[in-house]
Chains A and B, each alone.
Chain A
């Protein structure tokens, strides 16, 4: 019984581990990895913009400081969006436009 179960387990392991080597569906294309990273960076930047605005509206930032911080964050967000748009357009420039974060 134990030997049979071991054989079944072994077959299952070989199937799971070997599937990527024999399947026609290969690993995710590099582009989708870049897109996921840029999307993640974009969400993080949006959060920063919201945080800065909340800080200003709660009286923790002066108007001048907020304007400077906000403008800088939006510029960084646009670089990320440009990168994503470049990917959408199939441009190889996407990597070059990835923000340093």
Chain B
């Protein structure tokens, strides 16, 4: 059905063009029916792109190799699980996913705001359709997912083996959801500027979408980190790769926005700052998409050789120029309605937090884009590596974690020194205890930044813990509930506040994992033969025996490798006697290259070799291992040469028998294998921290129960007569905690 797919794209472009015209005509000429028709265009677009996406997904699941995209990124031997995900492993398919997700989120936001923000949403509709139209145009003119070849090839190239990992099923849709959701606040921010309605209403209407963008980007980043750690054979979770950075930057500015929007909501301040953050976040999301799709990067995350650079550069240029023009021409109405009451207030802490987050973003932006700009201008490739990033980001991360502990214990508007002193006592004591314990244990010698991070994290846990303790106590006093119930009710009734605090705990826990695993890691890369052993940190790793499997359909890791060679490793600790800790089975998968020039048997394992990591994870440490078996010994090469000469290309079944012989020879006299062994403390806490952040964000995003809103409403309505006199008694609160 490629014709239906192509028709969908043309129809989608027509709908985008009509919707932009109808929305602008409706809002400019005061014809709401046209503005409504424009909004309906977005709903129609979502329907059209859903059909287009379904056509492509079906082609992948049915292995319809007449579609060029399917032939390039899937094959009959690709497991079904990964066939479904292969749609977004190609440039064309991922563009369709991007446009489809954007249309879905746009439909949702426009439906939810259908009775609000009349003017702003009409302009936002036009902007959202403009973005969708841009991506649909790319699919029509540059990279169509529905291009076909006749006659269709018998089989496809197959999905890149590195992408055959469960998290790769979800990682791209999460990131794309984050990127596309970043466009929603941008469109409404621009709409508010164009309509000259820059109060907090557009922020309130799109706050949940900004939070969702932040959440999806965060989940996408964590899944990417997890994939990197457990799939790529280098043993790290973050390598400051340009594409990783591209997803982190809008997350950082989004984090800043989620904090500073509260100041605009509460005080009518920071309007220029907020709208700039929203525009920057949306622009960074587009720039991240540009990095992956422009072909200027050769990263595992990027689509190499792509030709979409020029259209993206034009889009980014227009976006930046329009943003600057709108903010500059509306600067008068963006003036703050209030000033800071006190430097000792939550507003001040949020401002500091914003400065640090934007500073972090700037450092990463410079480190990511400077090499590209430098190469474009001078022709010489330059790059900055992890040490450069660490030099600037680690101190900023320390300040950020510290601020996330200070914020919760400072009141809005004004706080007194006496109150601040009292509230800082417990967090400071927690940090001090951790410092003393670390210094006394002696494990942290020479690692001042790691010590500082542990102390900052303890400060955050103390600060947030104190908040929960006091809140629960108040709740118990007013309701008489048992502590666990009171604690749950406290969070339930103050979801935004306590959800945010849970996010702070998650961030602190995550950074403890990062600091520990990067500062106290033991790593070893060496060549071992069966029977030999080596020391890694406190552990002894012994190469027990080699392993090998052959299957044309599925290997042990279910990724479709033709041949897997690996090792059984015994991990023990202590020596008198040694205590068995774990058995690890790292392997390397060899894949069919589909390249006949490598020989009738050689091509079966001539594709990319992919490491399948094996690790023993725990609460205190991970023992991580990867192996690179040597199959280039003269004996194994001789077996391969004979097989290539004697077995015809059209008999892959005989080729598999030859591979079985090769594996038997390898197991009979295994050559030394290259092993990469790492012992990292507290890595698990990075993932636990990420899950805590996710949980906190979901709590914060969940709407407050109506009973809570009702209680406050009654209180305010009955307080009309209090306008002219101070409250009789604050203890007679309007709402229970």
B713 at the interface (CB under 8 A from A): yes
User: Could you tell me if B4 and A28 are in contact, using CB atoms closer than 8 angstroms?
Assistant: no
The 8 Å CB contact of A54, one of B34, B118, B737, is B737
CB contact between B413 and one of A42, A54, A65 (< 8 Å): that residue: A65
Instruction: Give the complex CA separation of A77 and B714 in angstroms.
Output: 12
Considering the chains assembled together, what is the distance between the CA atoms of A62 and B34 in angstroms? 54
Chain B 132-174, CB-CB to A under 8 Å as 1, else 0, gives 0000000000000000000000000000000000000000000
Q: Which of A1-30 contact B (CB under 8 A)?
A: 1-3, 5-6, 9-10, 12-13, 16-21, 26-28, 30
Category for how many chain B residues contact A: 35 or more
Is A40's beta carbon under 8 Å from chain B? yes
The 8 A CB mask of B99-125 against A (1 = contact, 0 = none) is 000000000000000111110000000
Interface residues on A, range: 35 or more
What chain B residues lie within 8 Å of A13 (beta carbons)?
11, 15, 44, 47-48
Chain A CB count within 10 A is highest, among B471, B474, B712, for: B712
B730 adjacent to A56 (CB under 8 Å): yes
Which chain B residues lie closer than 8 Å to A100 at the CB level?
A: 199, 268, 337
A-B contact pairs, 5 of them (CB 8 A): A5-B4, A6-B3, A13-B11, A13-B15, A50-B494
* A33 located at the interface, meaning its Cβ lies under 8 Å from any Cβ of chain B in the complex: yes
Q: B8 on the interface (CB 8 Å rule)?
A: yes
Contact with A along B395-423 (1 / 0, CB 8 A): 00000000000000111111110110011
Report if B709 contacts A (CB, 8 A).
yes
**Is B727 located at the chain interface by the 8 A CB criterion?**
yes
Q: A50-B735, A53-B735 are in contact. List 16 more A-B contacts (CB 8 A).
A: A13-B11, A13-B48, A20-B33, A37-B116, A48-B266, A49-B712, A49-B735, A52-B413, A54-B474, A57-B474, A69-B413, A74-B716, A74-B722, A78-B719, A81-B716, A100-B268
Establish whether residues A9 and B199, one from each chain, have CB atoms under 8 Å apart when the complex forms: no
Q: Which of A34-84 contact B (CB under 8 A)?
A: 35-37, 40-44, 46-63, 65-67, 69-71, 74-75, 77-78, 81
> Within 8 Å of chain A (Cβ to Cβ): is B522?
no
**What A residues does B717 contact at CB under 8 A?**
81
**Does chain A have a CB within 8 A of B43?**
yes
Chain B residue numbers with a CB within 8 Å of A5 are 1, 4
Contact yes or no, B4 A2, CB < 8 A:
yes
Is B332 interfacial (CB 8 A cutoff)?
no
The residue from A3, A21, A74, A77 contacting B33, defined by CB atoms under 8 A apart: A21
Q: Taking the nearest CB of chain B, how far is it from the CB of A12, in angstroms?
A: 7
- The secondary-structure label for the interface of chain A is helix
Given known A12-B47, A21-B33, contact A53–B414 (CB-CB < 8 A): no
Segment of B200-208, B501-509, B605-613 engaged in the interface with chain A: B200-208
By CB atoms of chain B within 10 A, which of A21, A54, A71, A78 has the most?
A: A54
Query: B22 to nearest A CB, angstroms?
Result: 8
Complex Cα gap A17–B47 (Å): 12
Q: Which of B34, B467, B734 contacts A53 (CB 8 A)?
A: B734
A53 and B7 alpha carbons, distance in the complex (Å):
59
**Residue of A at shortest CB range from B268?**
A101
B723 close to A (CB within 8 Å): yes
Point out the residues of chain B lying under 8 angstroms from A61, CB to CB: 411, 414-416, 419
- Shortest Cβ gap from A96 to chain B (Å): 15
Chain B residue with Cβ nearest A56 = B730
Enumerate chain A residues within 8 angstroms of B19, measured Cβ to Cβ.
17
* Residue B36 interfacial (CB < 8 Å): yes
A44-B204, A54-B471, A71-B726 in contact; A65/B37 too (CB < 8 A)? no
Query: Is the Cβ of B33 less than 8 Å from the Cβ of A37?
Result: no
| A64 to B15 alpha-carbon distance, docked (Å) | 59
B32-A27 in contact (CB<8A): yes
Q: Is B580 engaged at the interface, CB distance under 8 Å to the other chain?
A: no
B634 interface residue (CB < 8 Å to A): no
CB distance from A74 to the nearest CB of B (A): 6
Closest to A52 in B: B412
A66 near B116 (CB under 8 angstroms)?
Answer: no
List residues of chain A with CB within 8 A of the CB of B33. 20-21, 26-27
Among B116, B200, B719, B726, the one with the most A-chain Cβ atoms within 10 Å of its Cβ is B116
